[in-house]
Amino acid sequence: MDASRIGLYAALFAITAVLLFPFYWVLSSSVKSREGMAMSPPAFYPSEVRKESIEIAADGRVFSHAGNDWLLLARSEDKLNGGEEMGDYYVRLNADGPSQLVAWLPNAAVQPQPTDQRIYRFPRAQVHILENESRIAILAKMVRQNEEQNRVDELLFAVPAGSDTVADILTFHNVPHTEIRQWHFRWANYPETLAGPEAAIGEESTGFFTYMRNSFFISFLAVLGQVLSSSLVAYGFARLQFKGRELLFIFLLATMMIPGQVTLIPLFSIYKYLGWIDTFFPLIILHFTAGAFNVFLMRQYMLTLPKELDESAAMDGCGTFRTYFYIILPNCVPVLIVVGLFTFVYTWQDVMGPLIYLDNPEYRTVTLGLEYFRSPYVDNRHLLMTGAVLAMLPVAALFAFFQRYIMSGIATTGLKG
Amino acid sequence: MGTLLLLLGILLLAQPARAGSLIENKSYTSPKTTIRYSLWGGTETVEMNRIICEKFVTAHPDIAVDASVYPWGQYWAKLQTQTASGLAPDVISIYTAAIGIWVDRGALMPLDALVQRAGLDLDDYYQAALDNFIWDGQIYAFPLEIALAGLVYSIDRLEESGIPPEEWPKSDQSLSWAEYETLARRLTLKNPDGSIAQYGMAGGWSWNPIMFRHRGGTVLDRQVDPTRATVAGNEALASGIIGVFEAMYGHRYHASPETVNAAGLSGDSILLSPKFAMSFLGPWTLRNFQRAGVRVGLSPPPHGPSPQQLISVNAVGIYAGAKQPEAAWKLVQFMASEAVQPIFGQRLRGVPVLKSAKDALINNDYDIKGCEAFLADLDIARPFRSDTNTYVPAAVDKWSQETERLLDNEYDRRLFALQKNYPNSPLTNDAYNAFSDQMSAFVAATVRNRLPQLQQQLDAAFARAHRQEPSPFVRTALPALILGALLAALAAYLFAVRRQHEVQTLPQPQTNWAAYLCLGPWLFGFVCFTVGPILASTLLSFTEWNMIKAPLWIGAQHYVDMFSDVYFGMGLEKTFTYAAFAIPISLIGGLTTAGLLTSNIRGADVFKAIFYFPSLFTGAAAAILWVNMFNKEYGIVNRLLSLVGIAPINWLDTDHAFFTVVLMNFFWIGGATIIYYAGMKQIPRSLYEAAEIDGAGAFRRFFNITLPMLSPVILFMVVMTTIGAFQVFTPALFFASDSSQIGAPGDALRFYSVNIYDEAFNNLHMGKACAWAVVLFLLIFAITMVQFKLSKRFVHSEG
């Protein structure tokens, strides 16, 4: 293989990588936790910061202050503050174990606690690696303004792995450290997404399955309508002779140029008059009136069928419609599949229509459901990506299944008949 | 046909029954009358609403309530479409800033007669709250609760900073502005490189107008002057505006909107992020913090030389087209009664509008202490009324965003320059202070210089909303001219196309009824859903129509106004620019990939399928994925760029969002690939072989054989891509936070079609939207015609 062919394949693989990367990204993000989603810089794979549960004997270092129990982490004279007032660094305790807050409290303010011989759990302490390559579990962290230098000092309170006494707590002052990331798949994203956007804030939700069902219902009827009506119209244009055929066909082609916005408002009024707002009708009805592009596509295909088909059918006594249904349609399966798939892909992904016409959450489509996952109250970024995967899945599956037909079908669209 | 009818039948049966309502989906009894009621809010609102509705149906067993709760942005978007479609709820929730717009639209019913008949004593209610909803002397909505804001601070942040509790702001005493500034600056922490680790303050609810007011400046609300802007020469307002920007970009103790957005939280929940120490929030936010374990303290707003608290009041009105106005009024009256009013306080939604119920806020159900802070300013409360002119706040937003961007860029530039002097050590105190003082001076000068521009933009906004009485020419002659031009265009089109097809027209003039029957579905759709609506659109474009009131004939005024409308030019520019990128990307990308695939390689079918696959995804899911990948902080694109040493880019901000949307087109080249590939395959190999014998190189073969032979296909693709590019819409929807913000960030994604959607469904200017749509149609028509004309010269055809 010469150099130019290697370059050719390299280019093809490079394009493949670029085009498929977003799919890798959406799939991998769909099993990321909220934490994994918000990592900065982002990890290339679903991950979380490694965490360990640390248990520490309090060893007489629990004090009370302002109605809370505090665990003494470090004495200020060890290092750090250097102010005039003496004080120590504490972490506040609550019923379930220490919380992550660290405070600097003046010595005079704290009272020793008598019942302090318990074991304290630091559940999920983050494991980091220090610059000198030793591993520590961070119990608490504090960022303080350094008044003298007008900058921030970072204080770390950590234990080496395996420690279990307060005496092992180390304090670090402005030491570079990096978190240890590990693989973490959060499969629960899928059930949570399927439960629906409101479920994420603890409310009743119609759920993603309902959206799927609605989208399937709308898309299915749209496909049916489009396949039946477009093929019938295309049959008329391709195989029948009648007055005004050319003129009507020109009109048909011209409708491809009409932007949806032009008819939007009158259509909205018509549907409103018919009482069809907040029903699926507006999203389906147009598909039963033959899309211009689909008619064009099918006509091109039907023109390639031999004339003898109709003639022999006529001799067998088939009328116009019987010929259409029993002779022409069965011969058009590839193009019917293409039109059906295009229609499905279009209706499945339509945002504008459902946004304008649908209101009731019972009727939400998948695209609207996704819109509702973008809640202003909760950070749902991880579920949103799972939702995106669920929304893409049917389209991807259909493509995989009918790939051959689609490829040849699209190819014919651009070619002159 | 029978199948068709059968399917329609299935469709009818398969419609799920319209069960109850939306998010909160409950009918509370099984009665004779059902009224619909909708409001905005989160989980707490749902819960409170359940309590109120249950009480109501107990008291009124003959009425059922079908209540729906939406998040804020969606509530307004829904209300627009619901009123437009005549499906608005009987009881509409409304608030101070929106009342004028909705009264103007004719969506609300005056309540005076009902109030009088019910014998309500209005003295029992806060007058400032009632004043909000009196419009042209009539009361259009009844207030329920007052949104008063207070200074909310995170106790953890104050503890961490070592501020002793004695020095924390008090719940019964307001700070002075000087004390506030000292505190906010103390709570602002810097990283060693001078960037900000923690902000003392994050704006919150109506912070800026309150700052302006406290310095004695007036803001743009109806109480100042409803007909013009009052910026120029208003020194107090200028100092307020400069103060706000100085805090954000000078000494930077106040987080800028960009920073708040980057935190991924809404303003109401900003203290969930440990990066912010204080904010200015209402009582409705407190429960959220409590649940998340964020301890907060409260204090009344700081007081300046002319203290005022701007309040927004939440109210309920009755839909002008309500089917059950009597029952609806019963619910309204019930919510304003002694039985219900304390609930608004107890559930921390706001200050009850009934004077006797105000203490309920202090003794709230969640045991949150310090809520007296919200009551401190009741006596100096002023309604925060805005104009019915929706363009005015948009002009203010736009000016602010431009100013923010300018200052933000300058700040970044200067800080970066400063950091370069200290490559391996922290910035020194002196250097940093000098830097922020200089920056402050720059902010003050820049904002002051830009104020005349604000005045200009506001004048333009007022002018834009002020529709002139159309002259007789505009009223009658011009519409006739436009209609005539449309018909002429149609005739020209038919003439041109017929001539082109003349040769093919066969002399078969027979009437074939079966054939017309075959065309039936399309003919029906063509007449009812295409031609009819286009005519209707054209006629409506000569009217003022909000779908609530009857259309008002104004002739071609919308067409005349278009030329002075900034968004018209902007929409065209964005759309043309987008098309100017999208078309070559599809053309060159498609030809290149197809060229690669036809170079006699193995696995061409597999590559083809892979290339095509992404172009299936043009909708919501792809936009969501895109927004995620291009995020500045956690997006993978910046991570990949960082591997080759490129600094992070904020792909989704005002400067870059447009470019990011353009980039999506690379993802979609596959559709073109397939078609060009098929076209190339049809070119006879003999042509290439002959050229090769003649010694033509690869380039010459491409330009002299491939391109000419492909030209019909290329023309087809270019036409289709153009039509698609002119209608681009979905990315704009998903780049904005919700559909009412469409076009955001800034005006970056204000495509022409976005303007049409915005005018129609966000502003309910149906006539205007129709006029714009008609112009869009004419544009696409003209461009396609030009393309076809040009094609005659360049396109090779085997006729």
Per the DSSP assignment, residues forming a β-bridge with A182 are A48
Could you report the per-residue pLDDT of B105-122, keeping only the tens digit for each? Answer: 888 999 999 999 998 889
The shortest C-alpha distance from B569 to chain A (Å) reads 18
Interchain CB distance below 8 Å, A376 and B72: yes
pLDDT for the residue numbered B627: 86
Best B634, B763, B765 residue to mutate vs chain A (most A CBs within 10 Å): B634
Handedness of CA A115, A118, A124, A128 (dihedral sign): positive
* Closest to B146 (Cα-Cα) out of B307, B337, B380, B349: B349
Residue A76 main-chain phi, psi, to 5 deg: -70, -25
Nearest to B498, CA basis, from A261, A247, A296, A311 = A247
* Torsion sign across C-alpha atoms B517, B518, B523, B525: positive
More confident: B42 or A269: A269
| C-alpha A298 chain-centroid distance | 35
Q: Which chain A residues are Cβ-neighbours of B671 within 8 angstroms? A: 410
Provide the token pair at B199.
């902000």
- What letter does residue A77 receive in the DSSP assignment? G
pLDDT tens-digit profile of B515-541?
888 888 999 999 988 889 989 999 999
Element (H, E) at A302: helix A292-303
User: B245: closest CA among B359, B380, B406?
Assistant: B406
* Interacting residues of A261 by C-beta distance below 8 A, sequence separation 6+: B727, B753, B756, B757, B769, B772, B773, B776
Q: ipTM of this model?
A: 0.84
With both helix axes pointing from N to C terminus, report the angle between B766-794 and A260-274 in degrees, rounded to the nearest 10: 140
Rounded-to-integer distance, Cα B467 and Cα A356, Å = 28
Residue B333 confidence (pLDDT) above 90: yes
Best CA proximity match to B227, nearest among B451, B453, B458: B458
- DSSP-derived 3-state class of residue B352: strand
Buried b (16+ CB within 10 A) or exposed e, A64-103: bbeeebbbbbbebeeebbeeeeebbbbbbbeeebbebbbb
CA A306 to chain B, closest CA, distance in angstroms equals 19
> What percentage of chain B exceeds 70 in pLDDT?
90
Shortest CA distance to A402 belongs to which of A322, A347, A355, A333?
A: A333
- Of B308, B271, B328, which is closest to residue B33 (Cα–Cα)? B328
Beta-carbon separation of A321 and B739 below 8 A:
no
Residue A109 CA to residue A262 CA, distance in Å, equals 73
Cβ contact A269–B547 (<8 Å): yes
Rounded Cα distance between B361 and B204, Å, is: 20
Residues of chain A contacting residue B670, judged by C-beta atoms under 8 Å apart:
19
Rounded mean pLDDT, B63-82: 80
Task: Among A42, A257, A406, select the one facing B639 at the smallest CB separation.
Answer: A42
Q: Which of A359-368, A372-381, B124-133, B343-352 comes out lowest in average pLDDT?
A: A372-381
pLDDT of residue B1: 37
In this structure, how many other beta carbons lie within 10 angstroms of the beta carbon of residue B473? 12
The DSSP secondary-structure symbol of B27 reads B
Structure tokens at A414: 């651009």
Instruction: Test B727 with A280 for CB contact under 8 angstroms.
Output: no
Chain A residues in contact with B540 (beta carbon < 8 A): 265-266
Residue B611: CB atoms within 10 Å: 27
Neighbours of B566 (CB within 10 A): 16
B301 close to B208: Cβ distance less than 8 angstroms: no
Tens-digit pLDDT profile for residues A96-105 = 677 766 777 7
Q: Say if residue B407's pLDDT is above 50.
A: yes
HEC string of B531-545 equals HHHHHHHHHHCCEEC
- Give me B686's structure tokens: 């003999």
| Residue of B18, B628, B795 best to disrupt the A interface, most CBs of A under 10 A | B628
C-alpha–C-alpha distance, residues A209 and B178, integer Å: 56
What is the DSSP track for B474-519?
IIIIHHHHHHHHHHHHHHHHHHHHHHHHGGG--S-----HHHHHHT
Q: What pTM, to 2 d.p., does this model score?
A: 0.79
Question: First vs last Cα of chain A: how many Å apart?
Answer: 39
Are B540 and A266 within 8 A, CB to CB? yes
Whether residues A411 and B530 touch (CB distance < 8 A) is answered with no
Residue among A40, A284, A411 whose CB faces B675 most closely = A411
Q: Which residues pair with A183 in a beta bridge?
A: A47
CA closest to A276 among chain B residues: B85
Which residue out of B4, B7, B11 would a mutagenesis test of the A interface target, given it has the greatest number of A Cβ atoms within 10 Å? B11
Of B734, B769, B780, the CB nearest to A265: B769
Taking an 8 Å cut-off on Cβ atoms, the answer to whether B619 and A268 are in contact is no
For residue range B198-242, list pLDDT tens digits in order. 899 998 777 888 888 888 777 665 555 666 777 877 888 888 899
**pLDDT computed for residue B8 by the predictor:** 38
Distance of CA B3 to the CA centre of its chain: 43
CB B164 within 8 A of CB B217: no
Beta carbons within 10 angstroms of residue B610's beta carbon: 18
Task: Choose the weakest-confidence range: A94-103, A176-185, A202-211, A255-264.
Answer: A94-103
Contact criterion met (CB < 8 Å) for B427 and A201:
no
Assess whether pLDDT exceeds 90 at residue B141: yes
CA pair distance B202, B267, nearest whole angstrom: 8
Q: Minimal Cα–Cα distance from B707 to chain A, Å? A: 14
Q: Which residue is it, tokens 């969501």? A: B624
Residue B616 has its nearest CB partner, among A149, A232, A345, at: A345
Tokens of A21: 């990367």
**How much is the pLDDT for B26?**
46
Shortest CA distance to B136 belongs to which of B167, B110, B107? B110
Q: With CB atoms and an 8 Å threshold, state whether B198 touches A233.
A: no
More confident residue, B259 or A205: B259
**Percentage of chain A lying above the pLDDT 70 cut:** 87
Residues B558 and B541: beta-carbon distance below 8 Å: yes
Q: At what angle do helices B235-249 and B207-214 cross, to 10 degrees?
A: 130
pLDDT greater than 70 at residue B167? yes
Which residue has better confidence, A227 or A277? A227
Contact A240 B428 (CB under 8 A): no
Task: Give the max Cα distance, chain B.
Answer: 101
Question: Nearest residue of B to residue A229 by CA position?
Answer: B521
pLDDT, tens digit, 9 for 90 and up, residues B701-712: 888 888 888 888
With beta carbons under 8 A apart, name residues in chain A contacting B14: 217
Which H helix or E strand runs over B641? helix B636-643
Give the Cβ contact number of residue B437 at 10 Å.
12
- Assign A140 a pLDDT band (cuts: 50, 70, 90): confident
pLDDT given for residue A80 in this prediction:
52
- Measured between beta carbons, the chain B residues lying within 8 angstroms of A202 are 43
Region of poorest pLDDT, from A112-116, B2-6, B659-663, B733-737: B2-6
Task: Name which of B524, B521, B722, B680 is nearest B592 in CA terms.
Answer: B680
Residue with structure tokens 């202070």?
Answer: B433
Distance CA A167, CA A60 (A): 11
Chain B interface disruption, residue of A248, A289, A318, A380, most B CBs within 10 A: A289
B620 to chain A nearest CA, in Å? 6
**Of B32-46, B143-157, B475-489, which gets the smallest average pLDDT?**
B32-46
Residues in chain B within 8 Å Cβ distance of A247: 494, 498
Beta partners for residue B104, in sequence order:
none
Q: How confident is the model at residue B24 (pLDDT cuts 50, 70, 90)?
A: very low
Phi, psi of A186 (to 5 degrees): -110, 85
A220 pLDDT above the threshold of 90: yes
- SS3 for A84? coil
